Structure 1
Amino acid sequence: MQFDAATTLETPTGAALRLYVQRPEGEPRGIVQINHGLAEHAARYARFAAFLAGRGFAAYAHDHRGHGRTKAPGAPLGSFGPEPAADKVLADVLAVNERIAADYPGLPVILFGHSMGAMIALTFLMRHADRIAAAALWNMPLASRPEARAAKLLLAWERFRLGSDVPSRLMPRLTFRAWAKAFPDARTPFDWLSRDSGEVEKYIADPLCGWDATVGMWRGVFDFNLMAADDRALASIPKPLPIQLVGGAADPATAGGIALKRLERRLRRAGFSNLETSIYPETRHESLNELNREIIMEDFARWVGRAVAPA
Structure 2
Amino acid sequence: MASEDPAYTEAWLAGFDGHQFYTRTYRAATSPPRAVLLFLHGFAEHVGRHEHEHTYWAARGITVFAMDERGFGRTALDSKRSKDAAYGKTCHELEMRDIEFWVRYLRKEYPDAPLFLMGHSMGGALALAFPTQSRPPPSTETVEMLSGVVSSSPLIILVNQPAKLLRGLGGYAAKIIPWVPFPAKVSPEDLSHDPAVNNAVDPDPLIKSHATFRQLGDMLNRGEDVLNNGPTHWPKKLPILIVHGDADKVTSHKASEQFIDRLDAEDKKLTLFPGGYHELTNEPDGVKEKFWDECIAWIHQRALAPGALAKL
Same fold (TM over 0.5): yes
CA deviation profile, 1:58-99 (whole Å, cap 9, x unmatched): 00001111101113453302221xxxx211122222222222
Change in 2 beyond 3 A, CA 1:12/1:73? farther
CA deviation profile, 1:262-304 (whole Å, cap 9, x unmatched): 111121xxx2121111111111101111111011111111111
Q: CA deviation at 1:3?
A: 4.3
Deviates further, 277-286 or 235-244: 235-244
Pairs within 5 Å for 1:1-311: 3-25=7-29, 26-70=31-75, 71-72=81-82, 74-80=84-90, 85-126=91-132, 127=138, 128-143=142-157, 150=164, 152-159=167-174, 163-169=177-183, 172=185, 176=186, 189-231=187-229, 234-255=231-252, 257-267=253-263, 271-291=264-284, 292-311=287-306
Structure 2 length-normalised TM = 0.83
- Counterpart CA distance in 2 for 1:18 and 1:124 is 21
Q: Which amino acid aligns with 2:275?
A: E
CA contact (8 A) 1:65 1:72 kept: no
Structure 1 length-normalised TM = 0.83
- Counterpart CA distance in 2 for 1:33 and 1:297 is 15
Secondary structure of residue in 1 paired with 2:16: coil
Kindly report the root-mean-square deviation, in angstroms, between the aligned alpha carbons of the 2 structures.
2.4
Change in 2 beyond 3 A, CA 1:13/1:227? farther
- Counterpart CA distance in 2 for 1:245 and 1:159 is 30
Q: Which amino acid aligns with 1:120?
A: L
Greater share of residues in helix: 1
CA deviation profile, 1:133-166 (whole Å, cap 9, x unmatched): 100011013139xx79936423124447x83222
Deviates further, 296-305 or 28-37: 296-305
- Counterpart CA distance in 2 for 1:159 and 1:275 is 35
Change in 2 beyond 3 A, CA 1:2/1:250? farther
Secondary structure of residue in 2 paired with 1:78: coil
CA contact (8 A) 1:14 1:73 kept: no
Aligned length: 283
- Counterpart CA distance in 1 for 2:70 and 2:211 is 12
Q: Which amino acid aligns with 2:10?
A: A
CA contact (8 A) 1:30 1:110 kept: yes
Change in 2 beyond 3 A, CA 1:200/1:168? same
Q: CA deviation at 1:28?
A: 0.2
Q: Which amino acid aligns with 2:144?
A: D
Q: Which amino acid aligns with 2:168?
A: L
Q: Which amino acid aligns with 1:74?
A: D
Question: Kindly, what percent of the aligned residue pairs are identical?
Answer: 24
Q: Which amino acid aligns with 1:16?
A: Q
Change in 2 beyond 3 A, CA 1:308/1:223? same
CA contact (8 A) 1:139 1:246 kept: yes
Moved segments of 4+, more than 3 Å: 71-75, 147-152, 157-160, 233-237
CA contact (8 A) 1:158 1:168 kept: no
Change in 2 beyond 3 A, CA 1:148/1:104? farther
Secondary structure of residue in 2 paired with 1:53: helix
What residue ranges of structure 1 are gaps of 5+ in the alignment? 177-188
